[in-house]
Amino acid sequence: MALFKVLSGIVVIAFTGTLASVSESQLPSQAIFVDPRSFAVMGPNADFRNDSFNMLFNPTSTTPPFFQIFDERFLTILGGSPSFREIASDPTFAFAHEAPVYNEPTDEVFFSSNDGGPLGMSDLNHNNVISKISMKEVEAALSANATGPVNVPITQLNLSDSIQMTNGGTGPYNSSILLVTSGRGSSPPSIVLVNPLPPYNATVLLDNYFGRQFVSLNDIKVHPTNGKIFFTDVDYGFLNLFRPAPLMPFQVYRFDPDTSAVRVVADGFNKPNGIAFTPDGNTAYVSDTGASGGFLGNNLTLPASIYAFDVDPVTHVFKNRRVLAYADAGVPDGIQLDSDGNIYSGCADGTQVWAPDGTLLGKFFLGMSTAEMIFAGDGRLVILAETKMFLAKIAAKSIPLGGPSRN
């Protein structure tokens, strides 16, 4: 991907503006500050970006991976000595795409390969793959190699045929992993509960809406206080040629695991994708990746946004929709939050982070697309970048994702 460069005498000014109190010696390693005032006016002859997917905003031309800082609040997220390392790679296979789940008892991160996209090795006739990586092995490899990338082995799982084209995941939920699948061919999209231990037995919780198949389920989260399961449905299975044409709108749903009742809680999206809740459960975030059009091509006039909603405490309907952020690079895909309520989302240049007020604080800049990321416990952010995985060691803390205890 080409990197955007500011021309016509525009200079990136580091260590000023919102970081005026921070000296160069205090800025963490691998961190670059870009003052928003340095590019607010570029001039009539500047080299403006005309593609948010392939022309990325890296005015300092810094080699990835690095921390790109726009607001000093990002320093609190990073802490005093953050690090950013590649931990796994396979240039021939997009093994690290979606559905990240951290299982603390085994210190492993589970994830899925790209379903139907480039290097995904999956299509109408081939399922995608669920894999896992041992964080213990990652830590050992990083300790043995103090600098540069490492390549920790990935373990592929042999799962039930009921799991077709996994695209979202969360948990642990009742000591299990909660997945949503896009379905494949006539196999319906579904919510599936999977044991994180061998033999990885699976139980399908939902595969229809009053007898109608969903379009292709995309992402899933458990509400932190009421325990209901919320998920998004969109047409990427159709756009990637492994699902039939849509027969329902693209919406956000709530599933009650106690009664199996399912209802719509939000609509009006172009392509609802990632979903997340604040730790108190009062606010929901949903990304709309409408600008990413599959075989139809990208359309930069469609949404590349994250919306915030109030969650009704009785009906669980999402109300009072407002824009939290519009991504400057590609589209915001999966969403995770830290304990301070900061919002992380995968974009075309890496993982971007917004404050709850919508300010872009900074980026885990990779120069390549990431769909998802997950906290593997406090201070460890694992980023999925299709053919690579990265680990950022930072100060931010994780939040529980399995919902309230159901014991």
Band of the pLDDT at 221, cuts 50, 70, 90? very high
Predicted confidence at residue 2, as pLDDT, reads 31
pLDDT of 14 strictly over 60: no
Predicted confidence at residue 21, as pLDDT, reads 52
Q: Considering only residues 54 and 21, tell me which one the structure prediction assigns the higher pLDDT.
A: 54
In which region does residue 94 sit, left (phi positive, over 0), alpha (psi from -120 to 50) or beta (all else)?
Answer: beta
Band of the pLDDT at 25, cuts 50, 70, 90? low
Taking the C-alpha atoms of residue 246 and residue 239, their distance in angstroms, rounded to an integer, is 10
pLDDT of 286 strictly over 50: yes
Question: 144 with 138: CB under 8 angstroms?
Answer: no
Predicted confidence at residue 257, as pLDDT, reads 97
Q: What's the whole-number mean pLDDT along residues 190-211?
A: 97
Predicted confidence at residue 406, as pLDDT, reads 67
Q: What's the whole-number mean pLDDT along residues 211-223?
A: 98
Q: How high does pLDDT run on average in the chain?
A: 93
Share of the chain above pLDDT 70, in %: 93
Q: What's the whole-number mean pLDDT along residues 205-217?
A: 98
Residues 6+ away with beta carbon under 8 Å from 145:
none
Of 390, 347, 375, the residue nearest 83 (C-alpha): 390
Question: 177 with 212: CB under 8 angstroms?
Answer: no
Band of the pLDDT at 19, cuts 50, 70, 90? low
Q: How far apart are the first and last CA of the chain?
A: 49
pTM of the entire predicted model:
0.94
Ranking 9-13, 116-120, 237-241, 288-292 by mean pLDDT, the lowest is 9-13
Predicted confidence at residue 1, as pLDDT, reads 33
pLDDT of 15 strictly over 80: no
pLDDT digits (tens, 9 = 90+) for 29-63: 899 999 999 999 999 999 999 999 999 999 999 99
Domains of the chain, each with CATH number or no CATH: 75-393 (2.120.10.30)
Taking the C-alpha atoms of residue 234 and residue 273, their distance in angstroms, rounded to an integer, is 7
Task: Identify the helix (H) or strand (E) that includes residue 32.
Answer: strand 31-33
Q: What's the whole-number mean pLDDT along residues 206-218?
A: 98
Which 3 state secondary structure label does DSSP give 388? strand
pLDDT digits (tens, 9 = 90+) for 142-178: 999 988 899 999 999 999 999 999 999 999 999 999 9
Predicted confidence at residue 24, as pLDDT, reads 60
Predicted confidence at residue 236, as pLDDT, reads 96
Share of the chain above pLDDT 90, in %: 89
pLDDT of 74 strictly over 80: yes
Predicted confidence at residue 246, as pLDDT, reads 97
pLDDT of 8 strictly over 50: no
pLDDT digits (tens, 9 = 90+) for 350-403: 999 999 999 999 999 999 999 999 999 999 999 999 999 999 999 999 999 999
Give backbone dihedrals phi and psi of 261, rounded to 5 degrees, phi first.
-75, 140
